């Protein structure tokens, strides 16, 4: 056995032909050369029977119960996720509306400038005098002017407003509150 191991060992007595790297296939080639004329050896394999385990008592895990709090918590998380998603949808819609309204505002501002210049051109005093003269209008004479005398003292009548009852004030307050809520959500 020891002599076989010595024979398989790399002796290093071979001449170096350009490389000092260890030849990994050297032992395989040497073994093939030694056993070149022999028949392949048969190995008798003993087939082992698979071992069967016998279980005397099967342990079954008890059925797990789902807590009501975990179901409620899971439903709350899903509800919050849906609300967040809906708020993002509303934000997107509002952003689109804002962009549309801003473009509409820019168009209206341009139209305002145009209409203001037309208005100022229409009320040019020279043009008004020409239109009045063409229509046959003239300035009023002294006989057509009348004056109002305000030298006498002023007089005013003050009416007292009745204090509303507690019931009417509550109804008014409730009406304003409902109106404010409806206006907030519109």
Q: What is the pLDDT of residues 122-170, one digit of tens each?
A: 777 887 888 888 999 988 888 888 888 888 878 888 787 777 788 888 8
**What pLDDT is attached to residue 33?**
83
Report the mean per-residue pLDDT for the chain. Answer: 82
List Cα–Cα distances, 109 to 55, 79, 98, 116, in angstroms. 89, 44, 16, 10
**What pLDDT is attached to residue 105?**
96
More reliable by pLDDT, 146 or 103: 103
pLDDT above 70 for 15: no
d(CA 170, CA 167) in angstroms, rounded, equals 5
């Amino acid at each position: 056995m020891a002599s076989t191991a010595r024979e398989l060992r790399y002796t290093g007595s071979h001449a170096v032909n350009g490389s000092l790297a260890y030849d990994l296939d050297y032992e395989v080639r040497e073994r093939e050369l030694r056993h070149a004329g022999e028949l392949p050896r048969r190995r008798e394999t003993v087939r082992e029977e698979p071992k069967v385990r016998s279980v005397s008592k099967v342990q079954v895990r008890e059925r797990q119960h789902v807590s009501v709090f975990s179901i409620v918590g899971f439903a709350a998380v899903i509800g919050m996720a849906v609300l967040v998603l809906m708020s993002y949808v509303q934000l997107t819609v509002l952003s689109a509306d804002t962009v549309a309204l801003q473009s509409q505002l820019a168009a209206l501002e341009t139209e305002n400038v145009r209409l203001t210049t037309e208005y100022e051109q229409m009320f040019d005093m020279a043009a008004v005098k020409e239109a009045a003269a063409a229509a046959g209008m003239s300035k009023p004479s002294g006989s057509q002017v009348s004056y109002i005398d305000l030298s006498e003292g002023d007089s005013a009548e003050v009416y007292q407003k009745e204090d509303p009852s507690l019931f009417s004030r509550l109804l008014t307050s409730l009406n304003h509150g409902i109106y404010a809520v409806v206006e907030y959500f519109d």
